[in-house]
Structure 1
Amino acid sequence: MKRLGVLLSGRGSNFLAIARAIREQRLPGAEIAVVLSNREDAPGLAAAHKLGLPAFCVPSAGRSRVDHDAEMLARLHQHKVDLVCLAGYMRVITPDFIRAFPDRIVNIHPSLLPAFPGLDAQRQALEYGVKISGCTVHFVDEAVDHGVIILQKTVHVKDDDTVESLSARILEQEHIAYPEAIARVLSGEYTIEDRRFVSHENKALRVTAR
């Protein structure tokens, strides 16, 4: 059984999508080992408690990033986490954190990276005038929204879209994409070639087609 550690700062809708996928057996062999938040008032933390999951607040306010991340790591190791899933975790994690889980930290971002990294990605997309947006699940490295892309889902941008309407449609795709990407990673049936995430199944199909 692969053990997931979920980090969140807010409502936790992607965390709940992961929990639902596990419950519906769309993530076989996975379980949520612990949910951590840097904010005690995060609705996602309360949701985890309602589901009977181990869930803890590790407050970040007034602490150095290094000290806070050290405590987060201690909690993750205590619960024997195999894969760390950032689900609306609104903090940049330290290099020491990343090195503790090499290629074992994943994040979801509401744009088609490398376009529109950072905050307010949906607003950035609308202001730029793109016709297609979406979401990206990627490994986390030491740069913001930069790591190897695992999976992307697209969303068409409507002429009358607002930040709220576009965000809502992207979020629907996030809830589909995140469990699917986690399943791909947990399968172990992939390689990383340069910056490309290549599933062994797709690689075999390419070889057969030659």
Structure 2
Amino acid sequence: MSSRELQRIVVLISGSGTNLQALIDAQGTPALPNARIVLVLSNRKAAYGIARAQSANPPIPTAYLALQPYLKSHPGATRADYDVEVARIVLGAQPDLVVLAGWMHVLGERFLDALGGTVLPEGVPTPPRAIPVINLHPALPGAFDGANAIERTYEAFQCGKVESGGAMVHRVIKEVDRGEPLVVRKVEIHPGEPLEGFEERLHRTEWEIIVEGARMVLEGVHSAQGN
């Protein structure tokens, strides 16, 4: 498969980019064959994931767009307008898959409508098909939606409210962390274990399932194309 035929992935990040690194290391291997990351977009200028992308071989193009600077430079703009601009950048890379890998901003309906090809930003051509969007979330389905899921899971375990933690890759819909789970993995919490120990083991699980989820969705895209 030539470089033009490789399936194209756009990754959205906000932080250190360890999950991004797992995808970088897997692209072009049996774990994530026939795929390449064509853009990494961050909403934080200092995110180390940008450096990871730029130091990859070959280097991966990067972009930066943060909500508050965008609103300040566009008087009268709204959060929804920001989401549209994110969609414009993402669609400009012509992705087959968008992966939210530690992206700390809840994307609204206008982003999802644009990726689905129903309501496109001005000047953006209609994608040939709806672009799937997946997210990595450090909790089991329906357990701890939203932010600080790791800490909330750990605290719930200490109180005897849950028996274990976990992580999942799911499809992104308008309800936060409620999309169809694609890959789910339990991560046990050991009695007396510090939060840092649980967190480290959970992150290692995340690195595995984000690759597995991306491969699963891309295989579905490939089949839908009739190839």
Q: Say whether residues 1:116 and 2:176 are aligned partners.
A: no
Q: Which residue of 2 aligns with 1:78?
A: 92
Q: Which residue of 1 aligns with 2:178?
A: 146
- Distance in 1 of aligned mates of 2:195 and 2:68: 29
Q: Which residue of 2 aligns with 1:34?
A: 39
Say if 1:12 and 1:94 are closer, same or farther in 2 by CA, change over 3 A. same
CA contact (8 A) 1:18 1:178 kept: yes
- Normalising by structure 2, report the TM-score: 0.79
- Distance in 2 of aligned mates of 1:2 and 1:25: 14
Which residue of 78, 97, 110 maps to 1:96?
A: 110
Shift of 1:23: 4.4
SS at 1:142's partner residue? coil
Q: Which residue of 1 aligns with 2:80?
A: 66
Q: Say whether residues 1:56 and 2:88 are aligned partners.
A: no
User: What letter corresponds to residue 136 of structure 2 in structure 1?
Assistant: I
Q: Which residue of 1 aligns with 2:128?
A: none
Alignment of 1:156-167 (within 5 A): 156-167=188-199
Q: Which residue of 2 aligns with 1:208?
A: none
Shift of 1:131: 2.4
Shift of 1:116: 1.0
- Distance in 2 of aligned mates of 1:34 and 1:125: 32
Number of matched pairs: 191
CA contact (8 A) 2:96 2:218 kept: no
User: What letter corresponds to residue 107 of structure 2 in structure 1?
Assistant: I
Unaligned runs of 5+ in 1: 191-210
- Distance in 2 of aligned mates of 1:135 and 1:59: 26
CA contact (8 A) 1:37 1:45 kept: yes
**Cα displacement string for residues 154-197 of structure 1 (whole angstroms, at most 9, x for unaligned residues):** 1111111222221111100000011011111111189xxxxxxx
The 10-residue stretch of structure 1 (157-166 or 175-184) with the greater mean CA deviation from structure 2: 157-166
SS at 1:90's partner residue? coil
Shift of 1:119: 1.3
CA contact (8 A) 1:131 1:158 kept: no
Q: Which residue of 2 aligns with 1:19?
A: 24
Q: CA RMSD in A?
A: 1.8
SS at 2:144's partner residue? coil
SS at 1:117's partner residue? coil
Say if 1:162 and 1:119 are closer, same or farther in 2 by CA, change over 3 A. farther
Unaligned runs of 5+ in 2: 1-5, 72-77, 117-130, 223-227
- Normalising by structure 1, report the TM-score: 0.85
Say if 1:61 and 1:189 are closer, same or farther in 2 by CA, change over 3 A. closer
SS at 1:77's partner residue? helix
SS at 1:61's partner residue? helix
User: What letter corresponds to residue 26 of structure 1 in structure 2?
Assistant: A
Shift of 1:59: 2.4
Alignment of 1:120-199 (within 5 A): 120-129=148-157, 130-188=162-220
Q: Which has the higher strand share?
A: 1
CA contact (8 A) 1:39 1:60 kept: no
- Distance in 2 of aligned mates of 1:38 and 1:96: 17
- Distance in 2 of aligned mates of 1:162 and 1:114: 24
SS at 1:159's partner residue? coil
The 10-residue stretch of structure 1 (52-61 or 23-32) with the greater mean CA deviation from structure 2: 23-32
